[in-house]
Amino acid sequence: MESSLSSALDALRKGVPLVILDHPQREGEADLVLHAGFCTPENVRILRTQAGGLVCLGTNQETAKKLQLPYAADLLRESNSPTLRALALGRAPYGDPSAFSIWINHKKTYTGITDNDRSLTITEFEKMVGAKGQDKAASFVQNFYSPGHVPLLIARELGERNGHTELALTLARAAGLTPAMVMCEMLGEDWKALEWKKALVLAKKMGWPAVKGEEIIDAMKGNRRGSG
């Protein structure tokens, strides 16, 4: 990765949140992201109060296959209900297929929605993903249930989809961390997505690195050229 991204990678390894700005012609949003292994109750509160959107947990295709996780839209399309099939999202208004999978809780949670409960679900998922020598699908069924209060996202290939999910999981891989990232859209007081300028002001105030999606994509392209 390019040296311009080093602060973002360092932040991930230290458990510091960072801001990812996607392309202005896509969602045009800023997300506050954090590696799942550091998602304490305090950090869940930071995500919901300082960002304000939906607190999601993203993983990669390899993990999804091991856990036999489907995309939510595929579940709807395969349903016997004509209503559910009709509701299945093809592509979002900005052109991307959905990354949403199922919603989960850890079995040791109570309601599932508190900062403590969501932190437990998220960190236990990360531990399971990173554990060696176990049947991940069996462990998943043994320790989690659905529906819950933590929405899972499955990253597609960067290039096929260049959303915050793909960008965040790309950074996790580059940082040498498990493929489990927490992300939350940053919202403004005008009932819209937080403007990039305001997101950058908040990031500076809080000591969070900020990186544009284009920088991540360009760095990955450079790595591929260098290894070719």
Active-site residues: which are they? 31, 56, 94, 105, 149, 185
Q: Which of 100, 98, 103, 123 is nearest to 43 (CA)?
A: 123
CA–CA dist 120, 199 (Å, integer): 28
* Three-state SS annotation for the chain: CCHHHHHHHHHHHHCCCEEEECCCCCCCCEEEEEEHHHCCHHHHHHHHHHHECCCEEEECHHHHHHHCCCCHHHHHHCCCCHHHHHHCCCCCCCCCCCCEEEEEEECCCCCCCCHHHHHHHHHHHHHHHHCCCCCHHHHHHHHEEEEEEEEEEECCCCCCCCCHHHHHHHHHHHCCCCCEEEEEEEECCCCCECCHHHHHHHHHHHCCCEEEHHHHHHHHHHHHHHHC
Residue type, 150: V
